Amino acid sequence: MSIIKKNMILLFMVLALLIFALVLNQGAEFSGADGEAQTVITETNPDYTPWFQPLWEPPSGEIESLLFAVQASFGVGFICYYLGFRSGLRRRESEYKCD
């Protein structure tokens, strides 16, 4: 099977998964785990007061989302760099063994 055919199948599978998730959860609110945890804690113990306050809170939800995306991109960049580095080491070792 050619690489183009494999990539097209993978792309189709990702799109199918995305569409399936969106259709399955129609009308659902996409909220983070922090909000869900706060709701459960408030329902369980209404008198609960947090024992820690953040040092800095982003001025808006958009800034918070931006910082989260930047953090995620740094993580993905590090993982991809590491995988590429290890792949290069393996390739170099196999070239030396063949010589």
Residue 94 lies inside a defined structural domain of this protein: yes
What angle is formed at CA 72 by the lines to CA 57 and CA 53, rounded to 5 degrees? 20
The separation between CA 86 and the C-alpha centre of its own chain, rounded to angstroms, equals 22
**Are 58 and 67 in contact, with CB atoms under 8 Å apart?**
yes
Predicted local confidence at residue 36, as pLDDT: 81
Predicted local confidence at residue 82, as pLDDT: 97
Q: What is the mean pLDDT of each run of 10 residues along the chain (99 residues)?
A: 92 95 80 78 89 88 91 97 94 79
Predicted local confidence at residue 70, as pLDDT: 97
What angle is formed at CA 1 by the lines to CA 19 and CA 77, rounded to 5 degrees? 55
Number of domains in the chain: 1
Predicted local confidence at residue 30, as pLDDT: 66
- Confidence (pTM): 0.53
Rounded to whole angstroms, the Cα distance separating 28 from 31 reads 9
What domain range includes position 60?
Answer: 31-98
**Are 58 and 64 in contact, with CB atoms under 8 Å apart?**
yes
Residue 89 lies inside a defined structural domain of this protein: yes
Predicted local confidence at residue 26, as pLDDT: 81
Residue 13 lies inside a defined structural domain of this protein: no
Question: Helical H runs in the chain?
Answer: 3-24, 33-44, 61-98
Residue 39 lies inside a defined structural domain of this protein: yes
